[in-house]
Amino acid sequence: MAYWAGSSEGIPTTMTNQEPFAAGAAETESTRGGVSRRSLLLTVGGAASMAVVPQVTAQPASESKPAASTARVRLNVNGTRQELDLDTRQSLLDLLREDLGLTGTKKGCNQGACGACTILLNGRRVVSCLTLAAMHDGAIVETIEGLEKNGELHPLQSAFVEHDGLQCGFCTPGQIMSAVGCIAEGHAGSPEDIRFWMSGNICRCGAYPGIVAAVADAAKRV
């Protein structure tokens, strides 16, 4: 079976799963003066690990862990000014959930793949799990908690309820924040557009028909 094929001159253009084994099978103890590549690696690897392990375990814990640096960051979160001293490695998602108690923004994958943590940063939708808070001093942040105004749900929140745009609800804050951005960008003109421009927001319950209907409906109201 071929793994890949190339075309460089003088270089084999196809690697097969037979070749490495064929070469290895021919390489016996006798062909290399009694020392095969395998036995050499086992010997060297074993000696190396014996030599390295005591050094690593002898390190004091304080030397093996780099000290965290902090930064002062000012943010406007849902209309409220916040000034915080942050670990510079902290994500905006963790800042919102852990430091500000805004747990409406959900942590799904924590690696930018599901959209559950979508918020608006200076009016643009971003996945907050991949956004370093310390890099956005002075930014305006909007989360699901900031959509309701004077006791009135945002039109998108109402539309999600009316169109059954959710089942378990875990993805819903991210879906709604993404939909706010999608409509503002002018990308909610048709169900096809909505599916495409909201494709970064995954719903494990498969509530997509209701989500698309809700966004299309709300796009006419906002």
Which lies closer to ligand FES via its Cβ, residue 36 or residue 200?
200
Which lies closer to ligand FES via its Cβ, residue 78 or residue 118?
118
Residue 106 Cβ, how far from ligand FES at the closest point, in Å? Answer: 7
Residue 139 Cβ, how far from ligand FES at the closest point, in Å? Answer: 17
- Residue reference for tokens 């103890």: 29
Q: At CA 109, angle to CA 203 and CA 119, rounded to 5?
A: 70
Which lies closer to ligand FES via its Cβ, residue 36 or residue 139?
139
Which lies closer to ligand FES via its Cβ, residue 102 or residue 127?
127
For residues 78 and 119, the answer to whether their CB atoms sit within 8 Å is no
Chain residues in the site for ligand FES (CB under 6 A):
107-110, 112-117, 127, 129, 166-172, 203-205, 207
Which lies closer to ligand FES via its Cβ, residue 86 or residue 117?
117
Give residues with Cβ within 8 angstroms of 128, minimum separation 6.
91, 92, 93, 96, 105, 117, 118, 119, 121
Residue 43 Cβ, how far from ligand FES at the closest point, in Å? Answer: 46
CA neighbor of 181 nearest in space, from 138, 131, 104, 119: 119
List, as one string, the DSSP characters of 67-120.
PPPEEEEEEEETTEEEEEEEETT-BHHHIIIIIS--TTS--SSSSSSS-TTEEE
Torsions phi, psi for 138 (to 5 deg): 85, 5
Residue 17 Cβ, how far from ligand FES at the closest point, in Å? Answer: 36
Residue 40 Cβ, how far from ligand FES at the closest point, in Å? Answer: 46
